[in-house]
Amino acid sequence: MIRPLLWLPLAALCASPALGQDASLEKRAQKLHAMSGGTYCEPVEGGYVPEDAYMAWDLTYKPSWSEDAEEETVTVIRIFCGAGAYNIQHSYYINRSYEGLTPLSFATPSFETKYAEPDNSDSDLESLTVTGFGSTAILVNSEFDPESGTITSNSYWRGIGDASSSGTWVFKEGEFNLVKYDIDASYDGEINPETVVDYTYP
């Protein structure tokens, strides 16, 4: 488990739906999504598209770098990317006053697994080791809670859900920070994840 010595509290945060944002922002976001999503996110003719394929929320917060800092408002955008039998993928974007509209990427741990029988993940899991950190632009089965500024994801490695990886990212100072990550690498028919990253309170 990875745990820091200190955890800084979230800045005061309030949220409101941005469903009434002018159409130009949605058009720009969809255009950016088409360019940055690559072939993986290209729409399939006649394919599944959920009703909430495009969602947007306004987040207002007060930066902590100065007592005199003015409140800032950003728009967080989630766009449908694709779906399989039991996983739905989304990409996220953020619109800031100065930087404009940009894609979001999310920190994720890299890891190695060792099973009792090499190349047989159905055998007993002997070890799970975090080897570093990377990032991803696509989250699986993700949800966004604008009240807490929290994005969660839960990626099923197979349909029964006994093997998976899940993360939690919290909005702080205009960014989404990884605070918790769980991995269940054992294909044993049970849901028993191991927390490998924990930046939350004990």
Q: Is the pLDDT of residue 28 over 80?
A: yes
User: What confidence tens digit (pLDDT) does each residue in 59-92 have?
Assistant: 999 888 878 888 999 999 999 999 988 899 999 9
pTM: 0.85
Of residues 11 and 107, more confidently modeled: 107
21 in a domain, yes or no? Answer: yes
2 in a domain, yes or no? Answer: no
Q: Is the pLDDT of residue 126 over 90?
A: yes
> What total of structural domains would you count in the chain?
1
139 in a domain, yes or no? Answer: yes
* Structural domain of 77: 13-198
108 in a domain, yes or no? Answer: yes
46 in a domain, yes or no? Answer: yes
Of residues 18 and 97, more confidently modeled: 97
* CA-wise closest residue to 79 among 137, 155, 21, 22: 137
3 in a domain, yes or no? Answer: no
65 in a domain, yes or no? Answer: yes
31 in a domain, yes or no? Answer: yes
